[in-house]
Amino acid sequence: MTLLSPVDGRVHEASATATAGRGHRGVGVDWHEARRIAWALGAAAPVRIETVDITSASGRVATDVARALAPLPGFDSAAMDGWALGPGDGPWRIGDAIPMGSAPDPVVLAAGTARPLTTGGPVPAGTHAVLRSEDGVADGGLLRATRVPSPGAHIRRAGEESAGGEVLVRSGDLLTPPRCALLAAGGHDAVRVRARPRVAALTLGDEVHGRGVPRPGSVRDVFGPSVPPIIVAFGAEAGPARAVPDDLDGTVAALEEAIGGLGGPRADIVVTTGGTAHGTGDHLQAALGLVGARIVIDGVAVRPGHPVMLAVLPDGRVVLGLPGNPLAGLLCLVALGGPLLAGALGRPLPALGTAVAADALPNPTRSTRLVACVRADSGDAAGPARVLALGRQDSAMLRGLASAEAVAVVPPGGVAADETVETLPLPW
Ligand SMILES: Nc1nc2c(c(=O)[nH]1)N[C@H]1C(S)=C(S)[C@@H](COP(=O)(O)OP(=O)(O)OC[C@H]3O[C@@H](n4cnc5c(N)ncnc54)[C@H](O)[C@@H]3O)O[C@H]1N2
Ligand code: MOO
């Protein structure tokens, strides 16, 4: 299959391991490669475009070129508080003050006259220079300069930042607050952007209960309170997760409902939890086939989380199947959902961080191991973060991740004390 590269944005053939897919009975797709594939699937997914007010456009990605609608700045103005000076070396006769917000006076400022104004005020036609307030003395209606300004001093010229029609923002640019400010300065009220992907979250499992203390045999749903806020933290939209019964028909119906928009808006991306393994109660893979999805990743070489799945619908929309074990599901959402949503939002693949292992981080497996860590006190605030593994991070547990300040990405073979280790950016 063809995929966009997160590195150069060009189309590449996906690796054989990725398309072979049958990951988790073997060791699975390399974890770093899986992140790149997740990003590329998101980047290749269909894009919805919307127009948003410039005051709420920060963080979005522009889909059109935006040009200055007028020269920037729009008129010649004072760069300092003081006086607009007509020609001559002074003294100048002081005329009327120029109010802020008034239109530039077309009456030429005569030689030997000056008009008080403040920073940003429009200089009258024929202004020779602006004299700063600290460089002049006004006395009896006459102004004398203690330092005569050179011609054009302290005048901001119309169009000196941009001529009308110059490109201010390109299609694909992330609208940072300064870019939103620039667009506003250039006269824009609204901007066309990629819509935030709408994500439907489905929690699979008959044993999963949404409220209270579960009876023995049941578990309390941990994904309803955690998956939607992580999706939102990544910049997408997510409503409440929907509980789905553990049977094939129920799983197919829930997927169809999310994809087709029955009972709500159509999802751009579907995230499921549970049902990824190949036990008798695991129907995700079969259900994906029945809704026409093609499985791109079926297992990743990562612990925990190896049964994670990525599938693509015929129109390019993506389904991310998270494993049901709580730690595994959440780490897969952060590790693969983050890149997937970044791609769908038009952003680059999120970079991994680095830290120094304060103690050895063993990894006897052939997979990447994700380890919840705290920051160890290095005694050197300016130095790199040092990290120490937490306890209670079995795949079915949560206490380790709940205390984590970092997640170390430990390669097969492990990392020795004082060695550098990659870290996963956390969205909280
Ligand atoms: N024979 C094999 N069994 C399992 C394998 C395997 O390779 N071969 N992999 C194990 C691993 S690793 C994981 S992870 C899980 C993945 O299982 P599923 O994605 O199919 O998830 P479930 O079977 O539905 O549930 C697993 C576990 O997680 C609990 N769970 C599920 N959803 C929730 C929820 N919303 N809130 C709280 N807890 C949840 C569920 O009760 C199970 O305990 O498969 C292993 N088995
Ligand atoms: O890999 Mo499972 O996802 O260990 O819990």
Q: Which CATH architecture has domain 353-424?
A: Beta Barrel (2.40)
> Distance from the CA of 373 to the center of ligand 2, in angstroms?
18
Give kind and range of the element (H or E) at residue 44. Answer: helix 31-44
Q: Over 60: is that where the pLDDT of 222 sits?
A: yes
Question: Is this prediction's ipTM beyond 0.90?
Answer: yes
Q: What is the pLDDT of residues 362-388, one digit of tens each?
A: 999 999 999 999 999 767 777 889 999
The pLDDT value given to residue 24: 45
Whether the Cβ atoms of residue 352 and residue 52 lie closer than 8 Å to each other: no
Which residue of 24, 247, 288, 325 sits with most ligand 1 atoms within 8 Å of its CB, as the best mutation to test the pocket? Answer: 325
Question: Ligand 1 centre from 277 Cα, in Å?
Answer: 7
| Residue 12: pLDDT band with limits 50, 70, 90 | very low
CA of 305 to the centre of ligand 2 (A): 4
Instruction: Note whether 109 and 127 are within 8 A (CB).
Output: yes
Q: Name the CATH architecture for the domain at 49-70+165-195.
A: Alpha-Beta Complex (3.90)
- How confident is the model over 98-113, as a mean pLDDT? 96
CATH number belonging to the domain at 77-156, selected among 3.40.50.620, 3.30.1360.180, 1.10.10.10, 2.170.190.11: 2.170.190.11
411: which strand partners? none
CATH number of 2-45+197-344: 3.40.980.10
Same-fold call for 77-156 versus 353-424: no
SS3 200: strand
The pLDDT assigned to 278 comes to 82
What pLDDT score was predicted for residue 281?
78
Lowest mean pLDDT segment, chosen from 25-39, 123-137, 219-233: 25-39
Site residues for ligand 2, CB cut-off 6 Å: 303-307, 323, 325, 328, 395
**pLDDT band at 22; cut points 50, 70, 90:** very low
Distance 410 CA to ligand 1 centre (A): 23
**pLDDT band at 179; cut points 50, 70, 90:** very high
Q: What is the mean pLDDT of residues 48-76?
A: 97
Of 14-28, 131-145, 343-357, least confident by mean pLDDT is 14-28
Å from CA of 219 to ligand 2 middle: 17
Residue 287 CA to residue 313 CA, distance in Å, equals 12
What is the position in ligand 2's atom list of the atom closest to the CA of 302?
A: 1
Whose Cα sits closest to atom 34 in ligand 1?
A: 221
Average pLDDT, the chain: 93
pLDDT tens for 301-310 read 999 999 999 9
**Helix, strand, or coil (residue 249):** helix
Ligand with the closest atom to the CA of 301: 2
- Find the DSSP H helices in 313-355: 326-332, 338-344
pLDDT of residue 264: 77
Between 14 and 59, the higher pLDDT residue = 59
- What's the full length of the chain, in residues? 428
**Cβ(6)–Cβ(275) below 8 Å:** no
Mean pLDDT, residues 83-89 taken together: 96
Pocket test for ligand 2, best of 272, 303, 336 (most atoms within 8 A of CB): 303
- The whole-model pTM stands at 0.87
Report the nearest atom of ligand 2 relative to the CA of 303. 1
- C-alpha 328 – ligand 2 centre gap (Å): 5
**Distance (Å) from CA 286 to ligand 2 centroid:** 20
Name all residues whose Cβ lies below 6 A of ligand 1: 24, 203-205, 207-208, 219, 221-223, 273-277, 279, 282, 306-307, 323-326, 328, 395-396
Q: Where are the domains of the chain?
A: 2-45+197-344, 49-70+165-195, 77-156, 353-424
Find the 137 Cα to ligand 1 centroid distance in Å. Answer: 81
